[in-house]
Chains A and B, each alone.
Chain A
Amino acid sequence: MLEPKVVLFLAAVLFSAGLYGVLSRRHLIMLLMSLELMLNAVNIALVTFSRYWAGEGVGMIGAHSGQFFTLMVMAVAAAEVGIGLAIIVAVYRRKHTADSDAASELKG
């Protein structure tokens, strides 16, 4: 029997792994990739809750709102990656490296 708790635990593991990737990498593209993994874990949790609360009396729109929100997260993630990669290209053109430590002018 498929349990919601198991699926939520999978989402938690993926999220934590993504956080580890964000914290442990220096390459800007690797940071962005790990960020995508975290967003994906959130999507899994959203779809799980959508499936869990899709019982009687919710209606079609209520039952699918979690899936709709997942689609919104995907769209926002796509926009975020577009902007992020453009910033990485700009940083690389200026610094000749995609290392996150190179762009530290605002460090103070």
Chain B
Amino acid sequence: MEVLFILSALISLAGTLILITQKNPVYALLGLLIAFGGSAGVFKALDAPFIAVSQIIIYAGALAVMFLFVLMFTDTRTQDDRLKLPGAVGSRAVFNPKESGGPAKAKKKKNEFQVPAAVTAALDSIQLPKPMAMVLSLSLLVCFTAAIAKLPAEFNDFGPLPASYSGAMFAPSSEDGVLAFGSTAAVSKTIFEGFPLAFEVVSLLIFAALLGAVLLARRHLAGIPGTQDVGKERDHA
């Protein structure tokens, strides 16, 4: 479990790093996928296999595809990219000023240091760190770390796993004591015997979200209230 946790945590952190540094939203989405996969491994290491599988199905499967759909629908450039001056080409111009100087200055000195093209391309794809956001998030991390460090000493170790729970799913038959901690049967018994009302309320919430999403994203239709009126000349976009 220890090895699985360390591996998954490293994968998760690497994916997070990709997510917050890449400029291209599709690469960032890939980083998010990697981070979710790593988190699924962390859940497995914490004896929650059902949560791990749901994580992969819901987050890495459904949500990532939805994000990808909307990324393809929309323009991925932000205001920063649009306002970029035509002459500026990012770090390539900073490191290799001669290269972007036009054909007239094509002559290179022999012993001049040139940053390899791969390095400048990698630098161009990375978003520059924002200092204020960095300060805020790092101070939050410091607060969290202080709180974790103040936890009592019992938190230095997970207790032993509880023995499997007694009780069968459907009938009091032979298979007593098969519900191990974190197993699908134990989790489903918890849902339907412990919190049935919360389960029903969440299903209602998802239904409402489905209706709301359809209503928000559809085009303007005559006679249907709540739909957007964006004019016909813009609808072709």
Contacts and interface: CB of A to CB of B under 8 A. Distances in A.
A63 B181 contact: yes
B144 A16 contact: yes
Q: Contact size class for B?
A: 35 or more
Given A55-B162, A85-B67, A65 B73 contact: no
Nearest to B62: A78
B130 A86 contact: no
B119 interface: no
Contacts of B202: 72, 75-76
Contact of A29 (B59, B74, B228): B74
Interface residues of A, number: 78
Interface stretch (B40-48, B88-96, B105-113, B168-176): B40-48
Nearest to B210: A82
Contacts of B189: 60-61
A97 B205 contact: no
B133 A96 contact: no
Contact of A52 (B74, B158, B209, B216): B158
A92 to B, nearest CB: 4
Given A4-B158, A50-B48, A79-B205, A40 B1 contact: no
Contact of B155 (A4, A50, A87): A4
Interface in A62-78: 63-65, 67-68, 70-72, 74-78
A105 to B, nearest CB: 14
B54 A54 contact: no
B148 A87 contact: no
A65 B187 CA distance: 9
Contacts of B214: 86
Interface of A: 1-10, 12-21, 23-24, 26-27, 29-30, 32-34, 36-37, 40, 43-44, 47-48, 50-52, 54-56, 58, 60-61, 63-65, 67-68, 70-72, 74-83, 85-90, 92-94, 96-99, 101-102
Given A51-B48, A72-B202, 4 more contacts: A26-B80, A68-B190, A75-B206, A89-B70
